[in-house]
């Protein structure tokens, strides 16, 4: 469970990037955050795992001991503890190109092993077998020993998902996970993320209303740093044009 309470972020010039954003996401929910470019979607997502510190407000997350902590005010050390339990999938995959697929999956658990072991020994055989399990879930086990640099975009994103699964998170964040992919791969990735939301809350930023309508259980729309819609994933034409303004025509073209 994660609860965002009144977070705001203002630039020094007075421009409001985030304006009193509040929402609560529970297990079983797959929330899609929609909005035009620059509306504040990604900033909202980044404040959920402490990559961005809002000027005011709080992000409450249950840590591994079941205690409620405010991510916005944690010390670095405590933030690292919390991040072990938050999986993130990125638009640009953010994998280490020179390492193998299997190593990239195992990296997901670096936070929970000691720095000493990770530097002088590395991962254990048991961890490698477990990581293979995560790769099997995304049908990538046959490429385990390949270098990531040799994979296609869709395959890289599947490695990203396997890494998040292997991390055993209590919350999964996805920052435009399908924006760099063709429609076929985009669908595949959404189908892989969907079942994860039965175990843990999943929050993703998307640019594809037709995808969120199909796969998400709830949609939050952000415009100029404010939440303007929070509810059922199926949005009407009018609602979409309110969210996207002029961008709608381009989006409609893309959908065709």
Q: Which residue ranges make up the site for other proteins (CB under 8 A)?
A: 49, 51, 80-88, 90, 92, 94-99, 103, 107-112, 115, 118-119, 149-150, 163, 167
CB of 167 to other proteins, least distance (A): 6
Task: Residue 164: name the closest of 119, 131, 118, 126 by CA.
Answer: 131
3-state helix, strand, coil in the chain (%, to 5): 45, 25, 35
> Smaller CB distance to other proteins: residue 8 or 112?
112
Query: Minimal distance in Å, beta carbon 77 to other proteins?
Result: 9
φ, ψ at 96 (rounded to 5°): -85, 105
At closest approach, how far in Å is the CB of 85 from other proteins?
8
Residues 6 or more apart whose CB falls under 8 angstroms from that of 98 comprise 147, 148, 149
Q: How far apart are CA 111 and CA 107, in angstroms?
A: 8
DSSP one-letter code for 9: E
**CA–CA separation, 5 vs 91, rounded Å?**
26
| Cβ distance to other proteins smaller for residue 157 or 240 | 157
For other proteins, which is the closer residue by CB, 91 or 212?
91
- Decide whether 166 or 244 has the Cβ nearer to other proteins: 166
Q: Which one-letter DSSP state was computed for residue 25?
A: E
Which of residues 54 and 87 has its CB atom nearest to other proteins in the complex?
Answer: 87
Quick one: which of 72, 76, 45 has its CA closest to 61?
72
From the CB of 183, what's the least distance to other proteins, in Å?
24
User: Which residue's CB is nearer to other proteins, number 122 or number 231?
Assistant: 122
Question: Which letter does DSSP use for residue 100 in this model?
Answer: B
Smallest gap from Cβ 81 to other proteins, in A, equals 7
CB of 165: closest distance to other proteins in angstroms?
12
């Amino acid at each position: 469970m994660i609860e965002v309470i009144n977070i705001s972020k203002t630039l020094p010039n007075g421009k409001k990037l985030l304006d009193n954003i509040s929402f609560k996401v529970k297990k079983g929910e797959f929330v899609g955050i929609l909005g035009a470019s620059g509306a504040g979607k990604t900033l909202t997502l980044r404040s959920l795992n402490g990559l961005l510190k809002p000027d005011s407000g709080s992000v409450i997350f249950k840590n591994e001991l079941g205690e409620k902590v405010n991510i916005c005010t944690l010390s670095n050390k405590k933030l690292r503890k919390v991040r072990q339990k938050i999986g993130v999938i990125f638009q640009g995959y953010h994998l280490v190109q020179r390492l193998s697929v299997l190593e990239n999956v195992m990296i997901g658990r670096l936070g929970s092993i000691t720095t000493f072991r990770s530097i002088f020994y590395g991962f254990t055989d048991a961890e490698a077998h477990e990581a293979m399990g995560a790769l099997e879930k995304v049908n990538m086990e046959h490429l385990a020993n390949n270098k990531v640099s040799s994979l296609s975009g869709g395959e890289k994103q599947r490695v990203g998902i396997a890494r998040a699964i292997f991390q055993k998170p209590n919350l999964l964040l996805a920052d435009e996970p399908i924006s760099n992919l063709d429609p076929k791969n985009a669908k595949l990735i959404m189908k892989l993320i969907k079942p994860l939301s039965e175990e843990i809350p999943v929050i993703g930023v998307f640019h594809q209303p037709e995808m969120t309508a199909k796969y998400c259980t709830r949609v939050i729309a952000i415009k100029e740093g404010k939440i303007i819609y929070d509810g059922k994933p199926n949005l009407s034409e009018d609602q979409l044009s309110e969210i996207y303004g002029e961008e709608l025509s381009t989006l409609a073209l893309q959908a065709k």
